[in-house]
Amino acid sequence: MSPLDTLTAQQARALRGFTFDLDDTLLDHGRLTEVAFAALHRLVEAGLELYGITGRPAGWADVLTRLLPLRGVVAENGALASVRRGERVVLLDSVSAAERARRTQRLDTLITEFSSAFGDFEPTDDQRARISDRTFDIGEHRQVPPERVERASTWLRQHGARCFTSSVHLHATFDQSDKASGAVRLLSELSGLDETEVLGAYAFIGDSENDASCFAAFRLSIGVSNLRGRPTLRPRFSTHAARGAGFAEAAQRILRLREVSDKSPS
């Protein structure tokens, strides 16, 4: 990873939008700080489109799309998205209603078995707002040892589920999306760009293992300094500050470089 100071004006100027993880990237332990909130508005004022890319539930995505200056939020690690359509906010599912019902029934059966085998794992407190996955708290309100998380993940995979590990949650799902595929699908649909163009037109900033697909996909990828876990590919740039302050640092760097580019003689 290179320091954010090495990001160039040409790279910043090429951006159409900015995408970002929520927990421990935009948020500080679940809280939206003043500095991070202000950074969102400065980015929008500069003409950049904003999208959240998160493992948090579809119910959160709906509320965040309504409250924050965002074009949309990709939720549940890419399976669903909430987007603005005129004055309305709509939920987009990557599969049909019939297929969603089938996967839900299969997932609930699996989680019943999992809870018998791993009774020490507690469901997350945002479970009621979820559609495509089931999640367990491993770092939000309680700490689960990494080796125990790995054992649980292995069990779930052996039983046919896909797993994602964030800084706070263990996710189990039968969906095939990840953050990058969900983000690219939505950005391509809304922007009219093809998938290759999308990866160069939007930046991504994140902090954990389940952000690895976005670190690999987006050409301009940034990790806040509290980056943790074992992402298979690390981001190109890193901030000096952590969490919301790191998000604001990245926003300020991009905006400053775009300003310099605007003022440069043609």
- For tokens 């054992």, what's the residue? 151
Q: pLDDT band at 144, cuts 50/70/90?
A: very high
In whole angstroms, give the CA distance from residue 72 to residue 178: 16
Query: Does residue 264 surpass a pLDDT of 90?
Result: no
Kindly state the tokens that stand for 258. 């775009």
In whole angstroms, give the CA distance from residue 125 to residue 71: 26
Instruction: Set out the domains of the chain in order of their start, with CATH numbers.
Output: 2-94+177-263 (3.40.50.1000), 97-173 (3.90.1070)
Give me the residues paired with residue 205 across strands: 20, 222
Write the CA distances from 91 to 40, 73, 98, 133, 228, integer angstroms: 22, 10, 16, 16, 30
Q: pLDDT band at 262, cuts 50/70/90?
A: low
Q: pLDDT band at 209, cuts 50/70/90?
A: confident
What's the half-sphere exposure (Cβ side, CA atoms, 13 Å) at 235?
28
pLDDT at 261: 57
H helix runs in the chain, sequence order: 9-13, 34-45, 58-67, 97-117, 146-158, 179-191, 195-201, 212-217, 243-263
In whole angstroms, give the CA distance from residue 161 to residue 214: 21
What pTM does this model have?
Answer: 0.93
- pLDDT digit string (tens) for 85-130? 998 999 999 999 999 999 999 999 999 999 999 999 999 999 999 9
Q: Which residue has the higher pLDDT, 209 or 10?
A: 10
Q: Which residue has the higher pLDDT, 189 or 264?
A: 189
Query: What region, left, alpha or beta, does residue 183 occupy, with left being phi > 0 and alpha being psi -120 to 50 degrees?
Result: alpha
- pLDDT digit string (tens) for 220-240? 999 999 998 776 788 999 999
